[in-house]
Structure 1
Amino acid sequence: MVICKTVADLRAYLSSRPRGPRLGFIPTMGALHDGHASLIREAKAGGRFTVCSVFVNPTQFNDPADFQKYPKTIESDILLLEQAGVDVLFLPSVSEIYPTGVVLTKHYDLGYLETVLEGAYRPGHFQGVCQVVERLLRIVQPDDLYMGQKDYQQCMVIRRLIELEQLPVVLVVCPIRREADGLAMSSRNLRLDAVHREGATAIYEALEMIRRRVSEVLAAPLGSAPARRGSGAAPEAAAAPLAPITAEARASLEAKGFRVDYVEIADGTTLQLLESWDGRAPAVALIAAFWGEVRLIDNEVLAPKRSS
């Protein structure tokens, strides 16, 4: 594995590589785990020449203390990347990515995506994400960009960024990797002490409860839901009212000591928050909550009903 610490060195090395395999890029902020390794495996399985970056981006932290506390484990990160077979590690300094200073220099029109969920609770966060990802993409110039579904909204934001800037890259979203007890793998898990680590699985359990409750409603016999008022149409298939379900999940987390930012179910394509769901279009349940001092996020895609 080659390590490049400057843009000039990285570009020089990449320009000298033989033409052939597509270039796959995995941007990270370090504190790597098997979730990151799964992105690398996906890229390698597709025959990609792989570049991985480790850069803790200061412009996406709306809380400076959170930036200072972000885990930094570069020695173990390098070992994981070597074992995963990464071709190039890009390990830049802050001044290398922000040569004119750590400031937001442009505004990205993210529309509705920036107003809900993470956008509402972390103002400015996605502007910082877009800035650093655009800069990294223009430096690396990959064919394919690999990201994890755990950051569901972020993946949608990056897809919007690619469209806005007309970047010639394909976004590949890979499934969430979980620990044996269901906890979504995350760099922030390193900040959990033993007691909080054990209790953190409650978020996954709440997502599973949501999935079960929604499935129970959708399994109701056809015709159990009324037709739209004044339509004269036949009764529709059952639709799940979502507010009682998300309220139950929130209450279960709060009873265990979590400080909940949100428990929501949204359209899987637009992220519009849903009041009910008939199981026909993709949907996703999303949770963000503080467990002690650590803010954890997770999500679960709700599979549409199969047509009979």
Structure 2
Amino acid sequence: MKVIHTRNALQEALRVYRGRGETVGFVPTMGALHAGHLALVKACREQAAHTVVSIFVNPVQFNDPQDFALYPRTLDDDLKLLDAYQTDLVFVPEVHEVYPEGTNELETYDLGSLETVLEGKFRPGHFQGVARVMRRLLEMIQPDVLVMGEKDYQQCLIVQQLLQIMHASVRFYMHPTVREADGLAMSSRNRRLLPDDRKKATLIYESLMYIRSHWRYMPFARLEAVVREQLQATGFVVDYVAIARSVDLQILQAPEDTEMRALIAATIQGVRLIDNMQINP
């Protein structure tokens, strides 16, 4: 496994693969890796001859400076895990390698309504930051396959839209959410949970299951209110509980004859957790 820190070294290594006509898969991460990330690496290895993983905590997608400062950074452990999973290249750049022009006055993208609902509403500017870093990483790596996790469903839709804007011929694979034994979606933020809060966090998964089993029998507004009340009673500060169309995340007030998705974002003791679950009509 090669660990590379500069754009030039990355592209030199990729030229060797391209020269042999070998495909390249890419898994973007911000580090603090867990079994969910490793499932993405495994899936990527199955779909491309070589796997590139980036570890970069992108400063321009954090609208809360404290959240950026507290984001876990565990590079040594991350590299050991990736080596054990036979990753070919790990790209660990400094900020100036990704943003050589600096991080002020960056470009903006037309992301449509996806930028203003759910995560976009509660984290203004976040998805512009995601689009900016992903465009730069994709241009540097030019992968044949891009693998990302379904837990960040809205982010996946944003990246798919970015690929269209870029006219990029990249095959996008969204890997199903990887969960702990009690259902909690694996996340780098989970390690910040105190033991009691970790136990309470499973209520998010249970709430999604409740929505999936009750959406036919309760008005959406009432169903969402019940779930919100349950979360708040347990100590969560709730940003949203919503049922939306899967294709574009337009919030629904009643069932539609299309694939839907239940989505929750809630914070407990300063740790913000998100999760979602598909609903098939």
Correspondence for 1:295 among 238, 263, 272: 272
Offset at 1:167? 1.7
Q: Displacement of 1:55 after TM fit?
A: 0.2
Q: Which runs of 5+ in 1 are unaligned?
A: 218-239
Equivalence for 1:77: 78
TM-score, normalising length: structure 1: 0.89
Residues in 2 aligned to 1:24 and 1:184: alpha-carbon distance in whole angstroms: 24
The residue number in structure 2 matching 1:231 is none
Structure 2 residue aligned with 1:51: 52
Given that residues 104 and 128 in structure 1 are in contact (C-alpha distance below 8 angstroms), is that contact kept between their aligned partners in structure 2? Answer: no
What is the match of residue 170 of structure 2? Answer: 169
Unaligned runs of 5+ in 2: none
**Residues 248-259 of structure 1 mapped to structure 2, 5 A cutoff:** 248-259=226-237
Determine the C-alpha separation between the residues in 1 that align with 2:200 and 2:117. 27
Amino acid at match of 2:219: P
- Tell me the distance in 1 between the aligned counterparts of 2:251 and 2:49: 36
Alpha-carbon distance between aligned partners in 1 of 2:209 and 2:278, rounded to the nearest angstrom? 10
Q: Does 1:109 align with 2:87?
A: no
Q: Aligned letter for 2:232?
A: E
Q: 1:29 matched to which residue of 2?
A: 30
Partner of 2:246: 268
Residue 156 of structure 2 aligns with which residue?
Answer: 155
Shift of 1:253: 0.2
Q: 1:152 to 1:299 in 2, by over 3 A?
A: same
Confirm or deny: 8 A CA contact 2:231 2:238 kept in the other structure.
Answer: yes
| Superposed displacement of residue 281, structure 1 | 0.6
| Cα deviation, residue 46, structure 1 | 2.4
Amino acid at match of 2:20: R
Describe the SS at the equivalent of 2:274: strand
1:110-159 CA-partner distances (Å, limit 9, x unpaired) = 01001100000000000000000000000011011100000000000001
Secondary structure, counterpart of 1:285 in structure 2: strand
What SS does the aligned partner of 1:139 have? Answer: helix
Note the C-alpha offset of 1:23: 0.8
Please state how far the C-alpha of 1:163 moved relative to its aligned partner.
0.7
Distance apart, 1:47 and its partner CA: 4.1
Q: How much has 1:241 moved relative to structure 2? A: 2.7
Matched residue type, 1:250:
R
Moved more, 241-250 or 180-189: 241-250
The residue that corresponds to 2:92 in the other structure is 91
What is the CA–CA distance in structure 1 between the aligned matches of 2:59 and 2:264, rounded to whole Å? 24
Inter-partner Cα distance in structure 2 for 1:24 and 1:134: 15
| Structure-1 residue corresponding to 2:3 | 3
Which moves more between the two structures, 192-201 or 67-76? 192-201
User: SS at the partner of 2:110?
Assistant: coil
Is the alpha carbon distance of 1:48 and 1:250 closer, same or farther for their aligned partners in structure 2, counting shifts above 3 Å? Answer: farther
Whether contact under 8 Å (1:59, 1:104) holds in the other structure is no
What is the letter of the counterpart of residue 199 of structure 1?
K
Partner of 1:131: 132
State the AA in 2 paired with 1:166: H
Shift of 1:77: 0.3
Q: CA deviation at 1:76?
A: 0.8
Shift of 1:19: 2.4
1:193 Cα deviation after fit: 1.3
Q: Answer with 1 or 2: which has the greater Rg.
A: 1
SS of match in other structure, 1:103: coil
- Aligned CA distance change for structure 1 residues 48 and 246 (closer, same or farther; 3 Å): farther
Residue in 2 aligned with 1:224? Answer: none
Which residues in structure 2 correspond to 1:183-262 (within 5 Å)? 183-215=184-216, 217=217, 241-262=219-240
Question: Over aligned residue pairs, what C-alpha RMSD do you find?
Answer: 1.1
Structure 1 contact 55–91 (Cα < 8 Å) conserved: yes
Q: Is the 8 A contact 1:261 1:288 kept in 2?
A: yes
Q: Deviations over 1:240-277 (max 9, x none)?
A: 63111111111110111100000000001011100011
8 Å contact from structure 1 (residues 104, 131) kept in 2: no
Is 1:59–1:103's contact at 8 Å kept on the other side of the alignment? no
Letter in 1 for 2:186: M
The total of aligned residue pairs comes to 280
Q: Using CA pairs below 8 Å that are at least 6 residues apart, which structure has the higher relative contact order?
A: 2
Q: Which has the higher helix share?
A: 2
Of 54-63 and 21-30, more deviation after overlay is shown by: 21-30
Query: Which 4+ stretches in 1 moved above 6 angstroms?
Result: none
Q: Please say if residues 178 and 186 of structure 2, whose CA atoms lie closer than 8 Å, have aligned partners that are also in contact.
A: yes
Taking the aligned partners of 1:289 and 1:68, their CA distance within structure 2 comes to 20
Q: State the Cα distance separating 1:104 from its structure 2 match.
A: 4.7
TM-score with structure 2 setting the length: 0.97
User: 2:42 matched to which residue of 1?
Assistant: 41
